[in-house]
Amino acid sequence: MATSQRQADWTGISVLVTGGAGFIGSHLVELLVEAGARVTVLDTFASGSRDNLAAVAEAITLRELDIRRLDWAEYLTANPVEVIFHLAANAYVPPSVESPAFDCELNFTTTFRLLDALRGLRWPGRLVFASSAAVYGNSVRIPISEDDPTVPISPYGVGKLAAERYLAVFANLYGLQLASVRFFSAFGPRQRKQVVFDLLAKLDGDRERLFIHGDGTQVRDFLFVADAARSAMIVAANAPLRGEAYNVGAGREYTIDQLAKSLCEITGVHPVFDYSGANRPGDPEKLVVDISRLRSIGYRPRVDFEQGLASTVAWYESLTGVTWQYKA
């Protein structure tokens, strides 16, 4: 299938999304359904939610399965698919610091078992693995490119990197069509952790004082969730899939201080900022991304920072019923 055709036409394509009830996964499922794909979701709902898929529930096959216990060869023989988006994982650094064994099983071992089954089946399809900016650790330069050193500083980053390495080896040794996407600081509706949600929850709880981890100068490339989901589809459609990795971000940098001030402007809440002065363990100081490789296969971020924040604030309002003191 030609690159342009693969990108443009998902009609009738059979797709499996592991972790499809989660934050990025559910947005990806919605885009795939909109594009005409036949979508199956596997999820345990440990961190994802059926509610995240309410808008497309009638259009997908949803199976509550723990892929840590799944016989992949048996499952895929009985339920063949053309594309797999593998997003099922522990999605955050702190749980990996608290329980490295849990993170290793969920992020690395489970991915290896899937890859080994695909090898045994000589699977002809396409797989995109959800990796993370955490594989880089503290970057040696800004912006970060895919060829920069990968020296993770958390068990989470180590697990993602190990899975990536197996993808690359299996693609080259066994001819499987595989690629990884390294998401940078994704945010948006349905994310109930991480910095944007945490700041909104703090503003909701205390409108006079806002506690911020670190000193506010930490730099991130904030990626709106719809763009994250689209990037995975573009990689599946357009990439050579030879085990390569793609940075996924907006290509713009913001400090945590700028983020907090933007949220305050949107909500009309203006507290005093209270900084802890120290980063949380495993969190790098700067994560800013070079997305040239992803741009070369057709990706362009569509949602700007302020628009994404406004959408996230609106979702938070619908979730909690909070009423902000908006500016006139």
Q: Which of 34, 312, 37, 327 is nearest to 199 (CA)?
A: 312
At 256, list the tokens: 């945590």
**Is 156 an active-site residue?**
yes
- Active-site residue, selected from the candidate residues 136, 156, 246, 299: 156
Q: Is 52 helix (H, G, I), strand (E, B) or coil?
A: helix
Q: How far apart are CA 39 and CA 28, in angstroms?
A: 10
Q: How far apart are CA 287 and CA 284, in angstroms?
A: 7
**For the range 305-308, what are the long-range contacts, defined as Cβ-Cβ under 8 Å and sequence gap of 24 or more?**
305/222, 305/224, 305/250, 305/252, 305/254, 305/262, 306/262, 306/266, 307/224, 308/187, 308/188, 308/222, 308/224
Cα separation values, 65 from 80, 91, 186, Å = 16, 18, 25
| CA atoms within 13 Å, Cβ hemisphere of 103 | 19
Catalytic residues: 156
